[in-house]
Amino acid sequence: MVVLVIEDEIGIADFIRRGLESAGFVVDIAADGPSGLRQAQGEDVELVILDLGLPGLPGEQVLRRLRAMRSALPVIVLTAKDAIRDRVANLEAGADDYLIKPFSFSELLARVRVRLRRPDQSSAVMLTAGDLILDLRTRQVSVDGRTATLSSREFTLLEILIRHSGQILSQTQLLDLVWGYGFDGASNVVETYIRHLRRKIGADRIETVRRAGYRLVPT
């Protein structure tokens, strides 16, 4: 399943690419309007994430031309404009959804999944690691047969850890994937949420690798 990201800011494009690839998507990048429009014509592209401030051809024009060529292709717009009139204009131009910059990756991923959900798709999407089970649709967590109550951010952090089960993820990677590009909050936020998760799912399930990061250890 290919997602095309049309974004000229390298840092943001790479942030989105890393996150989507970790969630199982294939990601193509276009850095300007003309190349993005050309790549979006590929039959394997199933969704477009479109920045409006593009060189070569403004994102608004890319969107209108996309709608003329592939009317059913889902398009999620990224914009720094948060006025109501700008949101309405984006939707009227053919956007299926939009996100205001700065945004969290977890919100973007949720919107991507909604737009790619097929009518015949199973209603429950499960992730498992040993006796740890996550239902991505209901956002319920089962640990050794019991239900654990997690906040939205805790759930997203646990989802990322399960998707990379056994792999070491650094604090920087977790900040990008869970809190979003350019997060400038407390420096110990990852450590704090890891501590919360350990209390709720079991301390031995998340290993601290000194000077490297954290990894989930299935039990």
Q: What is the CATH number for 139?
A: 1.10.10.10
95 with 154, same domain: the answer is no
Q: How is 67-96 classified by DSSP, letter by letter?
A: HHH-TTS-EEEEES---HHHHHHHHHTT-S
What is the rounded distance in angstroms from the CA atom of residue 126 to the CA atom of residue 179? 22
Residue 123: per-residue pLDDT:
43
Tokens of 83: 């006025």
150 and 109 within one domain: no
- Please confirm whether the linkage preceding 102 is cis (ω < 30° from 0): yes
pTM to 2 decimal places:
0.65
Contact 165, 129 (CB under 8 A): yes
Looking at residue 181, its pLDDT comes to: 63
The domain in which residue 209 lies consists of 126-216
Q: For 150-196, what is each residue's pLDDT tens digit?
A: 988 899 899 889 988 888 989 888 887 787 766 666 678 999 999 99
The CATH number of the domain holding residue 72 is: 3.40.50.2300
- Out of 88, 116, 144, a domain closes at 116
Domain boundary among 84, 116, 148: 116
pLDDT of residue 106: 81
Low-confidence stretches of the chain (pLDDT < 50) are: 119-124
Number of domains in the chain: 2
Rg (CA), the chain: 19
